[in-house]
Amino acid sequence: MKKYLLIGVSAFVLGAGSMAYVSQQAIASAEPRAKTYRMLGLFGDVLDTVERQYVTDVDDTKLIQAAIDGMLTSLDPHSGYLDPENFDDMRDQTRGEYGGLGIEVTSEDGVVKVISPMDDTPAGRAGIKAGDYITAVNGESVLGLTVTEAVKQMRGRPGEAVTLTIAREKSDPFDVKLVREVIKPRSATAKMEGAYGVLRVSTFNEKTTDEAQAAFAELRAKNPQMKGLILDLRNNPGGLLDQAVAVSDLFLEGGEIVSQRGRDPRDVERYNARPGDITGGLPMVVVVNNGSASAAEIVAGALQDRKRAEVVGLTTFGKGSVQTVIPLRGGMDGALKLTTARYYTPSGRSIQKTGIEPDLEVASSRDEAQAIANRAFQFSEASFRNALNADEGKVRRGAHEPAEAPPEAFDTKKDFQLARAADVLRYGSVAATPKLPKPTAKMAEVVGSKARVAEVKPPQTTQK
């Protein structure tokens, strides 16, 4: 039976049969098992009471599906139940073609939150941003709904309009009118930025590696004097594990790319690169931000750890877990989306909650730099109350002096993060690249029981 991973489609085998012995251990396990049976009986009693006494007739199937989903979502933000319809939708999405708005969402305390919009989709063109809250669809509140229920309201026939009500930090709620499309996102595109190529990978579906390889080959053929490559993974919400491994492999000559480790410490699966770098050894820089998640973090972490590329931008989202999608009765009863492992970079780093930190921290705008200085405006895996803990007590970097940001004279029509990535290629390394003065920003500080805001002034530096 085929199993899907939200960051991969490789099989992940859980468990095996075990011999039963009449022993003290078996006797000891009888009590918690009896408690489980009692709780299942309680569930049956509650269901029976609801059926008989609720104010209107109820649908048993929907109630039980909601109970299953609630059980799974209580584990962590990425586990859940997919009914048959949503299981089909998930398979369409991993194939790289489906209907909708082109937006990756999750749920936080009953509120639908945007992880990232996809390139060249209705959501991306409308300016929806990572961290936005969707509070209503066509005027009907989605507060308290599961992600599955909210997504059902946003999907529909291509060509039909849908209005999303958006809540954004430091802004009044506003409506965005979108028209549903058949989403056929090109997961990889390429262009030139001066003397350097830019390979943009927006998601990891079944077509990503082929599209990335073809896009780079076409760009290289037209620009044989290309001096380096920028791999742009900003706002890439992730996708299939095998595609993240394959894209990493395009630029590596060998060695480990990623490992995944399950509940049993001995249950480790490693993925390694094969010889052959499609760039022929061109210098590389990877650009990321807090919308770069999951499979995108695998690629950034692999290239960073293998010293193949330096990373520019902002600390990534921090989703370091693997979800196995386990079909039930061949998908007839839907599927379980269950967190089954953590993934680790080649150096052994688990980035769960902490993310991949860039070698050169660069904000795309002065407003974004201000957000870095104020922890309240950060959106990441660490924002979820029931997220898996980071390994060994590691924590995500909190509010700090803001990153580099565009100077006052910088042309706002240009991409500052790409410009700084090109600077790193031009100078040969992050260490050799002249640093810009840190922008003035206000950091929230807590003094005693009162909070105050302090202005952070940049140090006196000069650019060489």
Distance of alpha carbon 319 from alpha carbon 115, whole angstroms: 11
Cβ–Cβ under 8 Å, residues 188 and 199: yes
Q: Is 319 an annotated catalytic residue? A: yes
pLDDT at 174 over 90: yes
What is the H or E stretch that residue 417 is in? helix 416-427
- The 10s digit of each residue's pLDDT in 301-348 is 999 999 999 999 999 999 999 888 899 998 899 999 999 999 999 999
Query: Which among 319, 337, 353, 438 is annotated as catalytic?
Result: 319
pLDDT at 446 over 90: no
Mark residue 331 as left, alpha or beta (left: phi above 0; alpha: psi -120 to 50; beta: remaining): left
Q: For residue 415, which amino acid is it?
A: D
Q: Is 3 an annotated catalytic residue? A: no
Cβ–Cβ under 8 Å, residues 136 and 98: no
DSSP 36-67: HHHHHHHHHHHHHHHHHHSSS---HHHHHHHH
Cβ–Cβ under 8 Å, residues 162 and 178: yes
Task: Tell me the C-alpha to C-alpha distance, in Å, between residue 281 and each of 143, 227, 356, 450.
Answer: 50, 10, 23, 54
What number is the average pLDDT over the span 179-208? Answer: 91
- The 10s digit of each residue's pLDDT in 84-141 is 888 887 787 676 556 689 887 877 777 888 877 888 889 989 999 888 999 999 999 9
Query: Which among 202, 294, 321, 380 is annotated as catalytic?
Result: 294
Query: Which among 83, 119, 249, 305 is annotated as catalytic?
Result: 305
**What 3 state SS string does 328-364 have?**
CHHHCCCEEEEEEEEEECCCCCECCCCCCCCCEEECC
pLDDT at 372 over 90: no
Q: Is 152 an annotated catalytic residue? A: no
What's the pLDDT at 460? 35
What's the pLDDT at 32? 73
